[in-house]
Amino acid sequence: MAKVHFTSNLRRHVDCSSLDVQASQLHEALDQAFAKNERLKTYVLDDQGHLRKHMRILIDGQAISDLEKFKDAVKPGSEIWVMQALSGG
Amino acid sequence: MQKKILVSTRKGLFELGKGTKGWAVKHSHFLGDNVTLALHDPRDGTDYAALNHGHFGIKLHRRDKGKKKWVEIASPKYPEKPEGLVDKDGWGKDVKWTNQLIWALETGGPKQKGVIWAGTMPGGLFKSTDRGNSWELMESLWRHPDRNKWLGGGADIPGIHSICVDPRNANTVRVAVSCGGVWRTEDGGKTWAQSAHGMKFDNGPKSEVESPDGQDPHMMVQCASDPAKFWVQHHAGIFKSVDNAKTWTGVKAKPSAFGFGVAVHPKDPDTVWFVPGIKDEKRIPVDGALVVTRTRDGGKTFKSLKKGLPQKNAYDVIFRHALALDDKGKRLAMGSTTGNVWVSENQGDSWDLVTSTLPQVYAVRFA
């Protein structure tokens, strides 16, 4: 079992509590997070299903390398954080 | 009768209303968020607001008539880009098939309840038939081979900012593209044709200057009661058409023919307003004096309207959607990049400052 977390900045727009997932690759974890929340997907991924510009995903503190198909490995007990840089001005 | 003004800004949507002391900000929505455009649908009283969250993408919200609460609805979404497809814009850069800005929002025809059009960057035109619950990309235009000639002007990528649904027949729609000219369909979107012939830039090689596909109309409007007549504020000046936007002729204006916004009187195609600025990379009012120009004779002469507008050290820019005319053709409103909003009750003869403290204004609309 791994765990997916979202930032409070994202929770301002979409209800997205941390959740437990069964996954060996990141895309499986994300699919489970988005399955219950289609709107959340549109905040994290762009129209092509790729990670949005300014978004970042960390698995156990390491930034992922596959920003399009999310094939990065997930282990039991992994902590996955979906984060963002805040663009403003 | 239109009683509200919706002001879309970098930090929220503001609703202006008129009280005994004149116009004032009555309500604010999405405070702190980037609201790029709003639309009021007079057919059913619905309001729409387009947001650009930057990191979280482009979103669309809807407020039903009489309701206080906004609800997030579907945002126009590009289809999956076919694997291996080479898709370049006019600069030769790869086109990213993802919505990067809702740059136009218009209602369909009076009898097409629930039909909404959206123009976006990087150039997709979308149609909804269910009040924005779902959207469909106008594939016929998106897959037109000449779309690859479109390119960004002031922005990095091309976009559709003007949509004119013909009041005579809602299956005839014209859109203006920066930079990609004007496109028209007369069969509800099955086929599209370039419609910017006659527009031209003021310098450069002849093939580029006069090529319709590279034209940069900043804003296009159609006269509601005389719909064969169109006006365009173009990057290189003002153009008008009297033949259903099939051909265009240039119009000279002082103090400048450069600008972004344009408004045409709904009952008089010869009465038109513009907000001039110094062309074209400077984009500030001439001599630091903000004026609105108005023609009443189809562009033969223009009058500079400045009563109530700052005439010293004014560097307000009025973006393309930030000059609005009400449906009676009498009241005007405009908002600026420095957060000023003015209203004129007399076709621009004089202006009242409503507020000078709003965030950067992107769009102003009567509702």
pLDDT tens digits, one per residue of B68-97: 999 999 999 999 999 999 999 999 999 999
Structural domain of A73: 2-84
Instruction: Single out the residue of A10, A53, A54, A58 nearest to residue A34, CA to CA.
Output: A10
- Residue A12 belongs to a domain: yes
Contact B117, B102 (CB under 8 A): no
* For chain A, percent of residues with pLDDT exceeding 90: 83
Whether pLDDT at A86 is above 70: no
Q: Whole-angstrom Cα distance, residue A71 to residue A27?
A: 6
Q: How many CA atoms lie within 13 A of B346 on its CB side?
A: 8
- Residue A39 belongs to a domain: yes
- Residue A18 belongs to a domain: yes
User: What's the number of domains chain A is made of?
Assistant: 1
Contact B232, B217 (CB under 8 A): yes
Distances (CA, A) of A72 to A18, A57, A68, B295, B315: 19, 10, 11, 62, 50
Residues with Cβ within 8 Å of residue B183, at least 6 apart in sequence: B141, B174, B175, B177, B192, B193, B194, B195
Instruction: Single out the residue of B70, B60, B69, B68 nearest to residue B132, CA to CA.
Output: B60
- Residue A31 belongs to a domain: yes
Q: How far is CA B98 from the centre of its chain?
A: 21
For the residues B244-248, what does the mean pLDDT come to? 97
* For chain B, percent of residues with pLDDT exceeding 70: 100
**Could A13 and B75 be called an inter-chain contact, meaning their C-beta atoms sit closer than 8 Å?**
no
**pLDDT mean across residues, chain B:** 96
Of the listed ranges A18-27, B45-54, B251-260, the least confidently predicted one is B251-260
Query: SS3 string of A17-52?
Result: CCEEECCCEHHHHHHHHHHCCHHHHHHHECCCCCEC
Q: Whole-angstrom Cα distance, residue B64 to residue B45?
A: 7
In tens, the pLDDT along B267-292 reads: 999 999 999 998 878 888 989 999 99
pLDDT level of residue A1 (50, 70, 90 thresholds): very high
Q: Whole-angstrom Cα distance, residue B52 to residue A43?
A: 11
Sheet of A79-84, strand order:
A19-21, A2-6, A79-84, A55-59, A62-63
* For chain B, percent of residues with pLDDT exceeding 90: 92
What pLDDT is stored for residue B259 in this prediction?
A: 94
Q: Whole-angstrom Cα distance, residue B335 to residue A72?
A: 48
For the residues B226-245, what does the mean pLDDT come to? 97
**Could B56 and A53 be called an inter-chain contact, meaning their C-beta atoms sit closer than 8 Å?**
no
Residues with Cβ within 8 Å of residue B273, at least 6 apart in sequence: B261, B262, B263, B264, B292, B293, B294, B323, B325, B332, B348
Q: Whole-angstrom Cα distance, residue B11 to residue A89?
A: 9
Instruction: Single out the residue of B80, B59, B84, B86 nearest to residue B71, CA to CA.
Output: B59
Which among B53, B72, B97, B120 is the top mutation candidate for probing chain A, defined by the most A β-carbons within 10 Å of its own β-carbon? B53
Contact B223, B230 (CB under 8 A): yes
Residues with Cβ within 8 Å of residue B282, at least 6 apart in sequence: none
- Residue A15 belongs to a domain: yes
Residues in chain B within 8 Å Cβ distance of A57: none
- State which residue of chain A sits closest to B80, comparing Cα positions: A48
CATH code: domain of residue A56: 3.10.20.30
- Residue A89 belongs to a domain: no
Nearest CB to A46; choose among B10, B57, B59:
B57
- State which residue of chain A sits closest to B11, comparing Cα positions: A89
- Report which secondary-structure segment, H or E, holds B140: helix B139-142
> What is the complex's ipTM, to 2 decimals?
0.89
